[in-house]
Amino acid sequence: MKILDSGSGKLIQPPDIDAFREWNRQKSKELIDKRMSEAEAVSRFVHDGDYIGTELYGTVRCPMSLVREIIRQGKKDLRLAGQGVMELDMLLAAHTVKEIDITYVGLEVYGVSNGLRREVESGRVETVVDWSNASIAWRFKAAAMGVPFIPVRSNLGTDTFKHSAAKVVECPFTGKPICLLPALILDVGLIHVHRADKYGNAQIEGISGFAAEMARASKRLIISAEEIIDEEEIRRHPNRTIIPYYLVDAVVHAPFGSHPGEMCYLYRRDEEKIREWVEAAKTEETAQAYFKKYIFDVPDHQAYLDLIGKEHLENLRYRAEVN
């Protein structure tokens, strides 16, 4: 296959598919009770220098309690799949990130991510490699398929391609240029779900984002769940299992685990608290003050929820049934 062009971006996590197979072979397939706290899950499974990814994104079904714990434990030199909003803004503003495969890090209606700006413009983030949104999801898909790359028609002809680690080849079947994306295998994936049993079988309501792909592309996977359900409920509706237990290393019970983001059908986003972060994120000093208030001076997720306030949280719940 003729290579027509190569992106100049660093391949931050080269796909070693055979090593991934060996890794998957040694992962336990036993039904083990994996329930633990954020503290234990992050301590055991997230290490300095790891390549991590979160799903979905900051204001929507996001593993915020896990992200706060990563900051609390002072993890650093992380390499990051950069598709997100305030969760990634926080990781960046907390100086935890060294390298990033970025597709979008911003605050949506609230504008650019100041964490991203400060860390990239200062050079503290040493490596930035650009991709399109779908490209990151497709890279996970390739890893999930167990193959080293996937052909797509995004990125072609642009500087996005030039600064990515993709390649353009001459398609051996059609003769036309096509873009190859290298598979992305995460050291650790972090996903927040609606329901999981103690073994890690997980269900997600509403849109699934890229949870199915990213879960299968993760060597280690930490699931946080609004609700822990009985194994029988999983077995009663096996088609609802989007993440099977054998992919999962830790199950964390985290009610309001996506706060201040939303969780469809359960609670809406907390605009007041989102705005508080947006404001705080504007400078290094105010960001650190925010981290002190909501992370460093707070021992765990339950204490965080207590700080936010029970009544405040209850007001976010959807009262009318939606389905």
Residues that bind other proteins (CB under 8 A): 56-57, 59-61, 82, 85, 102-106, 108-109, 112-113, 116-117, 120-121, 123, 128, 130-135, 137-138, 141, 152-160, 163, 168, 176-179, 206-213, 262, 264-265, 269, 322
Nearest-approach distance from CB 38 to other proteins, in angstroms? 23
Q: Which is nearer to other proteins, 46 or 211 (CB)?
A: 211
How many angstroms from the chain centroid is the CA of residue 22?
A: 24
Q: Which is nearer to other proteins, 36 or 54 (CB)?
A: 54
- The DSSP symbol for 4 reads E
Nearest-approach distance from CB 118 to other proteins, in angstroms? 9
How many angstroms from the chain centroid is the CA of residue 147?
A: 21
Q: Which is nearer to other proteins, 199 or 210 (CB)?
A: 210
Q: With b meaning 16 or more CB within 10 Å and e meaning fewer, what string describes 262-295? A: bbbebbebbeebbeebbebbeeeeebeebbeebb
- The DSSP symbol for 256 reads T
Element (H, E) at 216: helix 211-216
Contact (Cβ atoms closer than 8 angstroms) between residue 227 and residue 263: no
Q: Which is nearer to other proteins, 269 or 312 (CB)?
A: 269
CA distances from 112 to 76, 86, 97, 122, 322 (A): 23, 10, 17, 16, 33
How far apart, in whole angstroms, are the C-alpha atoms of residue 9 and residue 105? 18
Q: Which is nearer to other proteins, 35 or 61 (CB)?
A: 61
Nearest-approach distance from CB 183 to other proteins, in angstroms? 14
Nearest-approach distance from CB 35 to other proteins, in angstroms? 27
Residues 6+ apart with CB under 8 A from 87: 54, 57, 58, 62, 63, 64, 67, 261
Nearest-approach distance from CB 145 to other proteins, in angstroms? 11
Nearest-approach distance from CB 123 to other proteins, in angstroms? 7
Nearest-approach distance from CB 273 to other proteins, in angstroms? 15
Nearest-approach distance from CB 178 to other proteins, in angstroms? 6
Q: Which is nearer to other proteins, 46 or 88 (CB)?
A: 88
What SS3 class is residue 22?
Answer: helix
Q: Which is nearer to other proteins, 42 or 143 (CB)?
A: 143
Nearest-approach distance from CB 137 to other proteins, in angstroms? 5
Q: Which is nearer to other proteins, 112 or 289 (CB)?
A: 112
Q: Which is nearer to other proteins, 36 or 266 (CB)?
A: 266
Triad 230, 302, 285: Cα angle to 5°:
135
Neighbours of 150 (CB within 10 A): 19
Q: Tokens for 182?
A: 């290298």
How many CA atoms lie within 13 Å of 228's alpha carbon, on the beta-carbon side? 15
Contact (Cβ atoms closer than 8 angstroms) between residue 258 and residue 61: yes
Neighbours of 298 (CB within 10 A): 18
